[in-house]
Structure 1
């Protein structure tokens, strides 16, 4: 039998694994597998193509449809360049807080769920509890993208999903989606005194970024004042740009990265198609007239759907009953919730900690948030155990 952990003890253990997204998460996954196996709970890995990362799925309770997925990602954002007062992968406590990379985002939820495994096993569950741990959420949700279909293919089919991102245990019913695009431009280099004979890739990039900014301005102008998101419209934003060789050469190359933050219901493919159409119809012909070697290439780095508010979903009333939270909460950052929902699973986001601490140096979670999450899971188990049958 595995040892028992309090949520705090489990969180300290999970923080000790360096699972920054560019690192392997297999040591953490192996620990969780061994921990679950010690309690007699089988689990299944879903590896990434490299074999250096894996998601994990476990089910506790009957082999039956229904029940709830408790979902968390295992990866964390980098610490490089941040001014930490202690080792970010050795948890420390101070003044009612537990510090460490991932404490809030989102190992706090994963730790509380794992610490509750003995309680899951002792409950008279009438429907199963699913534990879903993913990788690479921070870089595009690739882990969940592979995990969810495999989980559903293996069966049984869960009824609801709780994604435990930090919401201070409030019930979040909607979030924006995100598409990340890399635009690479090849121009025609000439001496800048002969500008009319060349194509500056930087100038082309400026034109494309201007188009993106104009679309954001249009969306702002026609935004629905009743939209709960802040800002209440889809945004198109250039975050990084690089290019050029010298001040007196028209730039042969320029590359920039854009993220599009989509309102739920907005089509990512429609926005990308409109961008491509602008390039094909209004930009490329002028470039090609100077040199056939000019080109514009677009690659998609990430595409995560938004989470839409559900008119008659099962997850929201359950989460509201368990938390007592009846407010309307949406967030503008993306989570894996939209992916679960896109597979037909009723989903909410609700977890311990504050997003204000996510990605920050000296990231922390208030210890009373772990207590609130544990009480939430206790109430969830009680409800799942008293279903008539």
Structure 2
């Protein structure tokens, strides 16, 4: 069994569902990274529900032998200097990004009946987060421990965020408040977000924008005229939301054919929470979201909904979301990463996907891609798993990438 499996078994044991603090799992990962020779920065914040969350930025610089015969590249004069590897013409170093939170596991149906107890069965590892994305982190840790700091010529970063599953809040806090991340962004290394892609290289993905509209009425017995039905003011807003949906489906100027589907995929709903017909509804809440794309940000629709809410006397809130990610598919480092992946998945080209990742909040990095072991089809499922074969291939793939950009 690979060392990655040992890492993964331990990581699954942490109940790091987003509603909980991720400090315990972060502390465990930080201890491992320090054993591997990384300097680790912890940044913490308190989320909207008063729960303490933690981000990690870890960096390991080259540790050259003290005999003076250390490797050099161009004008490199000190460990950690950002220089171009010979022949590449780009800065060196590699950064790996992951999140340590998971979605809920309240309806778990996997073997063992405990989502936080790893079960190995039929060549798979079952457990909440096994695929999204503790398996990826385990593979990268395994790859990292196989490569010494003495063999490095460029820095290696590992970044672990909180709250990816609830709006990229950890990554956004990291980008806004972490001095270690600011240094990473200034170096602008090749940055791999390790979400599950079965090792296919993703050069672009959609962003997401969400909003909530609230109508306030007055409850009363439905046989009287003393109440104010909150839905009365909401109905015209629903028509606006429907009009936007129809335009997103039909307007050819709102498409980006790199994606499937190539539209903003406008989605919306409404509820007044009423369970009986003899009470006048005193509130009604609608929501809407869309998947933005490079060149199609949908800002006009946000402005339209907000303006219509004001006209109808409704409250409007904009959810935290994120911008789409786009990296030139012809960038040299993208082609190099596809070349590394070829040993594991065969001939391949960079792809665009419709889901979103922490890359939405990492716009300060210019060389972002998404690539990791496991399949997005297993993420968030009631019996989530990752194949051991994917763990092993992911470990070797990441080790190859580390050697290419850091050694």
Please, what TM-score do these two structures have when normalized by structure 1? Answer: 0.86
Partner of 1:266: 296
Q: Is the 8 A contact 2:26 2:56 kept in 1?
A: yes
Question: CA 1:372–1:240 in structure 2 vs 1: closer, same or farther (change >3 Å)?
Answer: farther
Partner of 2:379: 358
Partner of 2:341: 323
SS of 1:271's partner is: helix
Given candidates 20, 24, 28, the residue that maps to 1:27 is 24
Equivalents in 2 of 1:378, 1:75: separation in Å?
24
* 1:47 CA displacement: 0.6
Partner of 2:395: 374
Once structures 1 and 2 are overlaid, which stretch shifts more, 222-231 or 11-20? 222-231
Q: Is the 8 A contact 2:18 2:103 kept in 1?
A: yes
Partner of 2:73: none
Question: CA 1:312–1:85 in structure 2 vs 1: closer, same or farther (change >3 Å)?
Answer: closer
* 1:16 CA displacement: 0.8
* 1:48 CA displacement: 1.5
Given candidates 355, 359, 365, the residue that maps to 1:337 is 359
SS of 2:212's partner is: strand
Partner of 2:104: 78
Please, what TM-score do these two structures have when normalized by structure 2? Answer: 0.83
Partner of 2:39: 42
Partner of 1:178: 208
SS of 1:161's partner is: strand
* 1:74 CA displacement: 0.3
Partner of 1:105: 132
The equivalences for 1:199-210 within 5 A come to 200-210=229-239
Partner of 1:63: 80
Given candidates 321, 329, 338, the residue that maps to 1:303 is 321
* Alignment size in residue pairs: 369
SS of 2:321's partner is: strand
| Per-residue Cα deviation, 1:325-367 (whole angstroms, up to 9, x for no partner) | 5334222111012222x21421111111011111111210011
Matched, 1:213 2:234: no
Partner of 2:85: none
Partner of 1:133: 160
Equivalents in 1 of 2:97, 2:355: separation in Å?
17
Question: CA 1:157–1:241 in structure 2 vs 1: closer, same or farther (change >3 Å)?
Answer: farther
Can you give the 5+ residue segments of structure 1 that lack an aligned partner in the other structure? Answer: 285-294
Can you give the 5+ residue segments of structure 2 that lack an aligned partner in the other structure? Answer: 62-78, 83-90
Q: Is the 8 A contact 1:123 1:385 kept in 2?
A: no
Equivalents in 1 of 2:58, 2:171: separation in Å?
14
Equivalents in 2 of 1:270, 1:46: separation in Å?
36
Equivalents in 2 of 1:280, 1:21: separation in Å?
33
* 1:12 CA displacement: 0.9
Question: CA 1:266–1:194 in structure 2 vs 1: closer, same or farther (change >3 Å)?
Answer: farther
| Per-residue Cα deviation, 1:191-242 (whole angstroms, up to 9, x for no partner) | 65677x9753224334323322321221211247770322211022125623
Question: CA 1:314–1:72 in structure 2 vs 1: closer, same or farther (change >3 Å)?
Answer: farther
Equivalents in 1 of 2:258, 2:275: separation in Å?
45
SS of 1:144's partner is: helix
Partner of 1:288: none
SS of 2:164's partner is: coil
Q: Is the 8 A contact 1:175 1:306 kept in 2?
A: yes
| Per-residue Cα deviation, 1:304-333 (whole angstroms, up to 9, x for no partner) | 111124265454223212112533422211
Partner of 2:172: 145
Question: CA 1:152–1:233 in structure 2 vs 1: closer, same or farther (change >3 Å)?
Answer: same
Question: CA 1:194–1:232 in structure 2 vs 1: closer, same or farther (change >3 Å)?
Answer: farther
Q: Is the 8 A contact 1:64 1:157 kept in 2?
A: no
Partner of 1:289: none
Equivalents in 2 of 1:351, 1:58: separation in Å?
19
Partner of 1:278: 308
Partner of 2:193: 163
Equivalents in 1 of 2:327, 2:367: separation in Å?
10
